[in-house]
Amino acid sequence: MLRLFSLLAIAVFASSAGAADPVKHAFLATGGETFITDEAGKVTWKYAHSSRDGWVLDSGNVLLALSKSKTYPHGAVIEVDKDGKTVFEFKGTQAEVNTVQPLTDGKVLLTEAGDKPRILEVGRDGKIVAEVGLTAQTKDHHLQTRMTRKLANGNYLVPQLLDRVVREYDAKGKMVWEVKTPHMPFTAIRLPDGNTLIGCTLGNLVIEVDKDGKEVWRVTNDDLPNKPINDACGVQRLENGNTVITSHHATANQVKLLEVTREKKVVWTYTDDRRGGIHHFQILDAKGKPEKHPLR
């Protein structure tokens, strides 16, 4: 009996010792409120302006695409330090600025929505150094484009919401690849293997397509308990292969971020008591630093 008890005790200890630590994430959130939380969910930084897209930089500064407002009637891109001091600013000139991306050469990429939808690359002196016109509908400026990203090959990957298409443009604005989407695409991420991960907003789903546009993976509310996806806007593919999805229309005490494995198992969720949801986000490490090559 004593030997059996000892064996059981060892088994319980081994099971406990081998149990994985719970998944935790710090992150930058953009949307009606702009803030950073630590892994415990405590807010460590805030910026008093709504935002569309954003990045925590290696310096600790934060680069943001700001929503249009009285201060910025056409939207803007700004970089601020942790004290909220503006160290870079570029004001939009059309209807909205909906995306921003820090480029490796120090320039900043942004998109403008309006009668002439376009991608701009801007130097730190505020001068436009590249302009790429986009082929997109113009009847609804707000639903033209979202999280545009410059690719390693120099092209641009552009989710076009109302057109329900993701397009890749070269530096001259020529379309070199496109894929139709089952709902309005918000996020489009070119993965290292050449596949493209796409968040489809009100379709409440995320898909992955190969180079030929063939769907190779999908996650929807039908795959998850309690149907937690509510407007799948921002998406990030983590280094471990998992996918984090925001629910932009989630309200107080509803799931606003969730992480799912390739097998569609939910391993992390985030909720808070804010009425507003999260438009896009950037997952950070325990020290508040970004991944080296974030796929978002």
Per residue in 46-82, pLDDT tens? 999 999 999 999 999 999 999 999 999 999 999 999 9
Instruction: Report residue 10: phi and psi, to 5°.
Output: -65, -40
Cα-Cα-Cα-Cα dihedral sign, residues 257, 103, 46, 58: positive
CA distance 55 to 31: 13
pTM confidence score: 0.91
Dig out the tokens for 202 from the structure. Answer: 């009100």
Domain extent listing, the chain: 24-284
- Residue 120, amino acid: L
With a CB cutoff of 8 Å and minimum separation 6, the contacts of 2 are none
CA distances 93 to 55, 127, 189, 296, Å, are 22, 13, 27, 26
- What are the average pLDDT values for consecutive 10-residue runs of the chain, which has 296 residues? 37 39 93 97 96 96 97 98 96 97 96 98 97 98 98 98 98 98 98 98 98 98 97 97 97 98 98 96 92 90
DSSP characters over 130-146? EEEE-----S-GGGSB-
Dig out the tokens for 86 from the structure. Answer: 């503006």
DSSP SS3 for 275: coil
Res 21: pLDDT: 74
With a CB cutoff of 8 Å and minimum separation 6, the contacts of 216 are 195, 208, 209, 210
Res 20: pLDDT: 63
Instruction: Report residue 81: phi and psi, to 5°.
Output: -85, 180
Res 35: pLDDT: 98
CATH says 24-284 is which class?
Answer: mainly beta
Res 127: pLDDT: 97
Phi-psi region of 132 (alpha: psi -120 to 50; beta: other; left: phi over 0): beta
Partners of 199 in beta bridges: 187, 206
Phi-psi region of 31 (alpha: psi -120 to 50; beta: other; left: phi over 0): left
CA distance 51 to 226: 29
> C-alpha 81: how far from its chain's center?
21
